[in-house]
Homo-oligomer: A and B are copies of this chain.
């Protein structure tokens, strides 16, 4: 597909990915890691994925601590395309600041936000969805790509779609966003057919986003626009910005006001929230043993699950189903796919006991 003029990709690159410890660390977050065995990090794959539509119109917003590594991984981008947040202020500040910069730089801009640590499987269908979303967004909608659920996941938020958007085949008004459901509720969503996963892929004109923000948080929107006019004040202004997710600050109230549309995302998508999810992304059905890394470092007998031999050591696994074994230079994790969510508790415990060298 040809590049879309004035289309900008905004890539918030934040979050440690705590549940992927010991692979991910505070100093080495998930988006900087190769979690698919492609030889490229999730960030690099994310930026490459949007290159067809956005060319080099990509803005990455990341923590100051990661700025240099992000820039090194994306050395083909112009240097000013990596924005360093002085401190973490959640997604509204990160995406809103990018919007304010783009509003000044390109009055005809349409932007789309794509988290740096998600995995998407079918480039053609991804581009189709984005292209449609951009068309709808030019009519001043806040558009979100609604992923067709592959199952009743309890790990993601959902959106409920309502009436079609006049003039656009496939676009629907979003009636509401709903938080991560219970499994029973999720089954109902999937059966209903009108629910989609909300993957945080928001497509809109920058001014629309800031105006929607300003309707509820006028000071916040004004600060972002001031900052875009005087970027040298970043260190001073940034810490005063509210810490709030874009979903709560804009998407949910805008949906209530009938300002949000959704277009169908018919591609495989995952946020790789934990090792269970990672095993699934790597293609592991129950009964398979997935290896992320050098298969010569793994010996298995009657074992299934996921082994990550990232420490260079031999890893032998015998007689365990759906096990997760992650070996690194200074820590080893052994759990199961079913318990993968609980890795966070171990990391919290390490931090609380002063072993921040390991987190």
Q: Is the contact region of chain A dominated by helix, strand, or loop, or is it mixed?
A: mixed
The CB with the most chain B CB atoms within 10 A, among A299, A338, A343, A349, is that of A299
For A303-335 the 0/1 string (1 means CB < 8 A from B) is 000000001011111111001010111111111
A185 interface residue per 8 A CB criterion: no
> Is A345 part of the contact surface with B, judged by Cβ < 8 Å?
yes
Task: Name A347's closest neighbour in chain B (CB-CB).
Answer: B316
Q: A319-B342, A339-B319, A349-B299 are in contact. Are A314 and B332 (CB under 8 A)?
A: yes
The reply on A350 being an interface residue by CB < 8 A is yes
Judge if A346 is at the interface, Cβ distance under 8 Å: yes
Question: Would you call A313 and B299 a contact (CB within 8 A)?
Answer: no
A301 touches B (CB below 8 Å):
yes
B338 near A316 with CB under 8 A, answer no
The reply to whether the CB of A144 lies closer than 8 angstroms to some CB of chain B is: no
Interface string of A339-359 (1 = CB under 8 A from B): 100110110011000010010
Q: A336 on the interface (CB 8 Å rule)? A: yes
In the bound complex, residues from chain B placing their C-beta under 8 Å from that of A314 are: 22, 330-332, 350, 355, 358
Q: List 7 A-B contacts (CB under 8 A).
A: A311-B313, A316-B332, A316-B333, A318-B336, A318-B339, A320-B323, A325-B332
In the complex, given contacts A299-B346, A311-B313, A320-B334, what are 14 additional A-B residue pairs having Cβ atoms less than 8 angstroms apart? A22-B314, A299-B349, A311-B332, A313-B328, A313-B332, A314-B350, A314-B355, A314-B358, A316-B332, A318-B339, A319-B336, A319-B338, A325-B332, A327-B332
